[in-house]
Structures are given as C-alpha cells and as structure tokens.
C-alpha cells in the first residue's frame, strides 16, 4: 500500500472563502434540492418566502393584470430562496471538501488478528470488533482505532493531522491511542481495537464535517425562535393590512403585500444562519481542532477558566533521567548501579531512560540471572528488584522513606534537602534504596513545550485564567507552573480532584475548559463545558471530550476561543445588519403601496424611486442580492479583536447597524436606476 495522497492539511490550504468549480456546481445543485418542503421547513423565515413565491406564481397566473410585474416578483422571490439555500450549501460543500481528504485514509485495510494463543489470522478491517487484538508491523497501516497494548512505534498520522512528521506512540503511556488508517513507520505493536465498524474516529470526523450530525447551538435555537416570532408577527400584520386599508379606501395588490412581507421579515439573517453555524465548525477544523458539535465551538467563546493536565499537554510528557544525586557517604557508582538494576524490567519511558543514562555513564552491571522484579503499583508507589538477599527499590520519597523505616533503617535528613533541591529546579525526584539504606535521588526532567508561556499570556489578556493540574509534588508543580506561566496549579491531584475543581468552578458561575490526554482525565473532560482531548491521548480521553486537538497543542484553546468568539460576533453582526436594513426597505415598499390613494404618503419616497412597480422590484432584488453578497463574511467570520462588551457593541452598531440602514438606500436606488434604464 502506498502513502496517502491526500490529507487534512491539503484541505486546510484551500482559500478561506472559495470553492473550486466542482464544489460550486455541487452547491448550486444542492440549492435546488433544498427546495423540498422538509428541507425548507428547517428555516421558518425562508419557508415563508418559499410559500410567498408559490402564492405569487398562482396570483400571477390566475388574477394579475400586470403579468410582467407578477413574473418579475415571483422570479425575484424564487431567487431569494435559492440564494439562501446556496449560502448553506456552500458551507456544507466546504465541509465535504475537508471530508474528502479524510476519506483517503478510510480504505479496505487488512489486519492480523491475534487469538488467545498468539496465532495470527488475516481479516478485513470491517470484521474487527472492539476487544480484538491485532499485530501491526513497520510499513503496515493500523486497521482500526485502538490502544497500544504492547510495544512502541513511530507512526505517520498525516491522514488525520496533515503533518508529515512522525509521532511516537507507546503502550502504558498517555500516548497509546492509535487511529485506523495511520501508518506504522518503525517497530511492531499490538493494538487492542476500541471501535466497532462504522464508529471509528475517521468515520465520525467525516460525518461531522459533512454536517450530517450538526445540531443547532442554544444561541442559534434562541435566534431561530426570535426570527420565527418576528415572521409570525409580520405575517399577521400583512394579513390584516388589507382590512385596515379598506377603511381609507385603499385596495392593496396581493403581490405588493407579499413583497412587503418578504421585505419586513429578517430574510438576510434567516438565509445566512445555517451557513454561520456550519462555518464555525469548519473554522475549528481549519485550526486542526475537531469539534464534535457546534455547541462546543460556541461555548468556547465564553469560557473564562482553563484547566490543563501537565504531562503531555503543558510538557512533552516523556520525563527522562538526567542526573544521579548520591547522599553523603554513598558512592555515585553504587547509586547508579542500583538504579539500573531496579529499572531493568521497568517498561515505562522513565525506567528506560534510567537504564540508558546508567549505561551511558558506563555502568558495568550485568543483567542478573535470578531476580524477582517488582512492578510499580499505585498503592506502594514503588518498583524495583529482589536479587538474592538484596531488595532494591525506587519510588516517591515518602514511599521509600516508609519502606526503609519498615525495614528498621534510618532516613537521613539530607534526603529531604536533596529532594527539595531537585523539585525546586522543576524536575521530579525519584529516590533509590538498597534494603534499609537510602542511596540517593534520580533526577527526572520534563520539558515545557515551546511557546506555551506566550500563549498563556494571550489567554490572560482575553480574561481566561489558566490552572495546571498535576500529580507531582507541590515544589515540582510550582517550578513547572512558573516556567509555563500559568495562573494557578493543583499538585498531587487525583482524577477525583480534577473533577471536584471543575464542579467548584462551575458552581461559582464560571465556564470551564479542560485540556487533557490520559484516561484519568476522561471524567474531567466529560464534566467540563469544553473538553479538549489531545489526539495523541487515549481513546477514553477522546471519547469524553467534545473537541479533539489534532496537533496535540495544549495552548490550542487560544485558537478555539477565538473561533468561538468569532462565531458569536459574526452571528450578532449579521443579525444587526439584517434587522437594520429592513428599516430602509420600508421607505421603498410603503410609499409604493399607498402613494396612489394617499398622495401625502409620497413624502416618504425619500429615495425618489421611479414608480411603484420599480420600487417594489428594487427592494426585492436588493433583498435577494444581499444574501450571496454576505456569504463570504458568514463563512470567513467577522475578525475578532479582544475588547470589552461595550466596545464590541459600539462597533457592532456603528459598522453593521448604521451600515445596515444606509446600504439599502444606496443599493435600492442604484437598482431602481438600472430598472428605469431598461424600461421596467
């Protein structure tokens, strides 16, 4: 099998607001398919416009004296509906374009399934079920989503992330999750399948970006209800208007009433609202963040507290042994050899790094012939080896101290000083003991990811407080927190501590975002208002979160927050514009309806439109054209700049409110002049 020819990165390089010719043709075809009644009813505003189009056509055929005017009104209304459908279709087409690149990773894969005896059977990936174990070697594709049960390998995840640089995945760590369709570049791993056919990560991504599972957000639902209420109100007004006009001797043309209704109801925002919601999820994906719902994107715009797991999010997560610190009276070589022996059977990255460092320092210890290795457990917080009469242990300082005292040994006060010295430097101390004698401290260093401090500073400017959560001791946690630039930290945290902190912050009225990658982060990710799981993390974390960061960047929430705020601002700006430009259209339609019977109404014709028919058509044509004109803005979004709510409201009213009032005067007058020039 060959490398993937397409990936998400290619999709992200498409122009922000454009489609290729094929995408444009597909969007146009979809605009007509959306005329189906079930599709039309999803937008109450546009459903009324479509109904008005049908009534206008019937009136033109059956009763209209001016057939040309009736045809023009009907055609304009029909085009208005098509343009609204086109706005939604363009947004969906962009999502399908991104999904097409993901389909390149969904292929007819074959996996080597292992039975309980370790025998291999080659089966199609579609036959694999959750719980199955598969063997994947270098050069092969991972057949299904799962967790590495044994081994370590470098994997090309370009099909999902768009990045060509290989990543390391290893059993027993928070970077053990693998995705079906990605390619193993080195070594051999055993993967336990975690997804049923059709429910893989790629399958869900494809469905989401295509919009098949897109649900309206709470704000979108509220706005839809408002638009429906306004539409119903103006519908009642237009139905009762002929009876009121009868009292002053005015007979209203039904076509004019339909035109008035279409210009009164907020057709602009009604036509663009679905596109705005879809575009929000597409913009998140463009930032390489998979949002499982539009609600998650929108809520991200309002979060004010961010909780981050330290290992794998703030730091690279692979703590490496960097130094041995023997206690007074202990030879450095003695500490080094004991540390090596205690780590020979330790499968963790830390244990392997201790062996590697000891070998680099020329430790001459041979592998013991008869030894009993003791695995690490959460209860003892130690691991080690028993060789003959020797009992060598390494672990947390307090755990080793208890172990030594239980054997009748004495812990030197120097140990606390050594441990504190290592911890203050931001490293993790690991204490080694041989029997009832403490030998010294191993220094394990973790590296803070590049650029994290600057991004956290930007989050602080946006009013978001950052809290680091770690299982490290308070001294190590404080050093890492200072280096990373977070506002607060929680040390020696258990999964229930993370959950309790989130609930406490939510009870205080805060909206919480949580970033994590491990199985122990899953409860907190599920509880948070916005749960961002690292793509490199475990399957449990990715299932619990409502977003997945494909780049594994803990500060990615900065981009997520900006996308969320941009979606809120875009919807508010276009709603303001839509409602404002309706005001101007009244000055075109109302004089045209009443000027003949009530000459005093002619004073309202401030635009000096040529004729009543020209006024109506000009207003309807402008109403139709403004929808496609605003599609690029709906898809790209209004630029977000950190500012106070008052400043944002002022800018919204000046730019989109005042602009929404003035633009129709210019546009309708220009269309009227054009219609007059062609003799309409």
HEC letters along 415-447: HHHHHHHHHHCCCEEEEEEECCEEEEEEEEECC
Phi, psi torsion values for 291, nearest 5 degrees: -95, 125
User: Residue 451: how many CB atoms within 10 A of its CB?
Assistant: 10
141 bridge partner residues: 183
Residue 113 has a CB neighbour count (10 Å cut-off) of 19
Largest CA distance in the chain: 114
Residues 170, 630: Cα–Cα separation, whole Å: 48
Residue list for the binding site for Mg(2+): 517, 521
Alpha helices in 437-527 (DSSP H): 452-461, 474-484, 495-507, 522-527
DSSP structural state of residue 175: T
Which helix (H) or strand (E) is 530 found in, with range? strand 530-534
The CB density around residue 608, as the number of other CB atoms within 10 Å, is 9
Q: Which residues are annotated as a binding site?
A: 346, 350, 376-383, 394, 517, 521
CA distances from 390 to 110, 341, 371, 387, 436 (A): 49, 11, 10, 5, 10
Q: What pairs with residue 192 in β-bridges?
A: 133, 147
What is the full DSSP assignment across 269-322? HHHHHHHHHHHHHHHHHHTTEEES-HHHHHHHTT--EEEEETBTTTB-S--EEE
Annotated binding site for ATP: 346, 350, 376-383, 394
Q: Which of 132, 253, 309, 582 is catalytic?
A: 309
Strands of the 547-549 sheet, one edge to the other: 289-291, 547-549, 530-534, 512-516, 305-309, 465-469, 488-490
* CB distance 467 to 512 below 8 Å: no
- Chain centroid, CA 240 distance in Å: 47
3-state secondary structure 625-657: HHHHHHHHHHHHCCCCCCCCHHHHHHHHHHHHH
Rounded to the nearest 5°, which phi and psi values hold at 26?
Answer: -65, -40
* Catalytic residue list contains 309: yes
Separation between Cα atoms, residue 109 and residue 92, nearest integer Å: 29
- Residue among 60, 78, 61 at smallest CA distance from 69: 60
CA Rg value for the chain: 33
- CA gap 81, 72 in Å, rounded: 15
**DSSP summary character for residue 344:** T
Please give the Cα distance from 661 to 668 (Å, whole number): 12
State the catalytic residues.
309
């Amino acid at each position: 099998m060959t490398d993937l020819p397409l990936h998400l990165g290619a999709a992200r390089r498409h122009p922000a607001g454009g489609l290729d010719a094929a995408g444009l043709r597909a969007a146009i075809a979809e605009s007509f398919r959306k005329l189906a009644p079930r599709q039309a009813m999803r937008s109450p505003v546009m459903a009324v416009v479509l109904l008005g189009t049908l009534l206008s056509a019937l009136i033109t055929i059956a009763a209209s004296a001016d057939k040309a005017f009736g045809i023009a009104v009907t055609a304009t209304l029909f085009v208005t509906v098509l343009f609204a459908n086109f706005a939604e279709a363009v947004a969906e087409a962009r999502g399908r374009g991104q999904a097409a690149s993901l389909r390149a990773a969904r292929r007819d894969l074959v996996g080597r399934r292992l039975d309980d005896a370790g025998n291999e059977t080659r089966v199609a990936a579609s036959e694999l079920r959750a719980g199955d174990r598969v063997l994947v070697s270098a050069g092969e594709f991972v057949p299904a989503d799962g967790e590495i049960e044994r081994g370590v390998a470098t994997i090309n995840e370009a099909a999902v992330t768009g990045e060509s640089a290989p990543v390391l995945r290893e059993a027993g760590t928070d970077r053990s999750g693998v995705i079906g369709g990605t390619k193993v570049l080195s070594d051999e791993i055993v993967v336990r399948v975690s997804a049923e056919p059709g429910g893989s990560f790629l399958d869900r991504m494809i469905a989401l970006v295509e919009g098949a599972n897109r649900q309206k957000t709470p704000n979108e639902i509220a706005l839809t209800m408002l638009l429906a209420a306004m539409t119903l109100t103006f519908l009642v007004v237009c139905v009762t208007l002929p009876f009121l006009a009868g009292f002053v001797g005015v007979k209203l043309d039904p076509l004019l009433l339909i035109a008035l209704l279409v210009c009164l109801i907020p057709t602009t925002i009604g036509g663009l609202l679905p596109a705005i919601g879809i575009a929000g999820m597409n913009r998140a994906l463009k930032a390489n963040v998979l949002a499982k719902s539009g609600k998650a994107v929108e809520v991200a715009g309002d979060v004010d507290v961010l909780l981050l797991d330290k290992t794998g999010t703030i730091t690279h997560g692979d703590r490496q042994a960097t130094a041995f610190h023997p206690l007074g009276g202990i030879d450095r070589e003695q500490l080094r050899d004991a540390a090596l022996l205690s780590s020979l059977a330790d499968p963790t990255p830390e244990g392997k790094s201790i062996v590697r460092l000891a070998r680099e320092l020329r430790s001459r210890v041979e592998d013991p012939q008869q030894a009993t290795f003791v695995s690490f457990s959460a209860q003892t917080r130690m691991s080690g080896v028993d060789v003959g009469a020797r009992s060598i242990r390494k672990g947390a300082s307090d755990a080793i101290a208890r172990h030594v005292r239980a054997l009748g040994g004495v812990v030197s006060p120097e140990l606390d000083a050594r441990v504190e010295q290592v911890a203050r430097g931001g490293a993790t101390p690991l204490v080694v003991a041989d029997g009832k004698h403490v030998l010294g401290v191993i220094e394990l260093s973790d590296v803070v990811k590049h650029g994290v401090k600057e991004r956290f500073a930007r989050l602080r400017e946006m009013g978001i407080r950052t809290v680091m959560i770690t299982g490290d001791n308070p001294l190590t946690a404080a050093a890492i927190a200072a280096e990373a630039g977070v506002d607060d930290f929680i040390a020696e945290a258990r999964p229930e501590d993370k959950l309790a902190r989130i609930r406490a912050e939510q009870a205080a009225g805060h909206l919480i975002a949580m970033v994590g990658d491990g199985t122990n982060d899953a409860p907190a990710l599920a509880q948070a208002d916005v749960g961002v799981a690292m793509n490199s993390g475990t399957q449990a974390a990715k299932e619990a979160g409502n977003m997945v960061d494909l780049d594994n960047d803990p500060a990615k929430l900065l981009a997520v927050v900006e996308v969320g705020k941009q979606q809120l601002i875009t919807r508010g700006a276009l709603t303001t514009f839509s409602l404002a430009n309706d005001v101007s259209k009244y000055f075109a339609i109302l004089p045209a309806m009443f000027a003949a019977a009530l000459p005093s109404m002619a004073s309202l014709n401030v635009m000096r439109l040529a004729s009543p028919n020209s006024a109506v058509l000009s207003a309807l044509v402008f109403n139709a054209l403004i929808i496609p004109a605003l599609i690029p803005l709906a898809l790209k979004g209004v630029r977000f700049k950190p500012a106070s709510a008052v400043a944002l409201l002022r800018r919204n009213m000046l730019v989109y409110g005042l602009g929404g009032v003035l633009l129709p005067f210019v546009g309708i007058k220009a269309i009227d002049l054009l219609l007059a020039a062609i003799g309409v």
